[in-house]
A and B are shown apart, each in its own frame.
Chain A
Amino acid sequence: DTGVSQDPRHKITKRGQNVTFRCDPISEHNRLYWYRQTLGQGPEFLTYFQNEAQLEKSRLLSDRFSAERPKGSFSTLEIQRTEQGDSAMYLCASSRTSGRGDTQYFGPGTRLTVL
């Protein structure tokens, strides 16, 4: 399998701009996750898709954040009206349903810097 890929790897934007990130999961993985990681912290869960359905959303996912997985393959995460507090590494992970014990495999992340 090729791994999880994310694009872009780095994004610098000005406060108030909109940004969109893309994640391509491992092929045939039906589950896809988004996490956010800030400096000195572990990843924090944002949202989860099973196929094209968004089944879980964290309270961290404010109204300015939206995620889609239209065909159950790749996913996009959009942040509208970016704020400096949005600066972080955005990580995507994917897994294949396996009873109760699936393993999440992570992509390299997109580092967002909001000026």
Chain B
Amino acid sequence: AQSVAQPEDQVNVAEGNPLTVKCTYSVSGNPYLFWYVQYPNRGLQFLLKYITGDNLVKGSYGFEAEFNKSQTSFHLKKPSALVSDSALYFCAVRDLDQAGTALIFGKGTTLSVSS
């Protein structure tokens, strides 16, 4: 079965410092991985995705994510955090070798950036 784990409920970081939000996944086939961000009372906004190719994926607002097949991880990173990055972040996976299009989401990680 497909699954996503976000081991940290909350990540706290000071503005200007680098941030990492962790994600590990489990699929039987090849993974198609996403990061989305959600602001209060809003829908999810797409940040970036990995399907194949370069393991380092760059996305919106200066975010990037590194795919590590051996560790089945897809951690979200940003070199210098902004207060405006404070939000709820979701990692999601789809197994490309299985029928179906549904994304499986983690429980989310709240990022809090202090000034």
Query: Which A residues fall within an 8 A CB radius of B?
Result: 4, 6, 31, 33, 40-45, 48, 56, 58, 91, 93, 100-109, 111
Could you say which residues of chain B place their CB within 8 Å of the CB of A103?
Answer: 34, 46, 49
Query: In the bound complex, what is the Cα–Cα distance between A109 and B44 (angstroms)?
Result: 9
Query: Which B residues fall within an 8 A CB radius of A?
Result: 4, 32, 34, 36, 41-46, 49, 51, 90, 92, 96, 100-108
Q: Is the CB of A58 within 8 A of B102?
A: yes
Given pairs A42-B106, A43-B105, A101-B49, 16 additional interface contacts (CB within 8 A): A6-B43, A40-B107, A40-B108, A41-B107, A41-B108, A42-B108, A43-B90, A43-B103, A44-B105, A56-B100, A58-B102, A91-B44, A102-B101, A104-B46, A106-B44, A106-B45
Could you say which residues of chain B place their CB within 8 Å of the CB of A45?
Answer: 102-104
Q: Is the CB of A48 within 8 A of B105?
A: no
Could you say which residues of chain A place their CB within 8 Å of the CB of B41?
Answer: 111
Query: In the bound complex, what is the Cα–Cα distance between A108 and B43 (angstroms)?
Result: 4
By beta carbon, the residue of chain A nearest B44 is: A106
Could you say which residues of chain B place their CB within 8 Å of the CB of A109?
Answer: 42-43
Q: Is the CB of A42 within 8 A of B43?
A: no
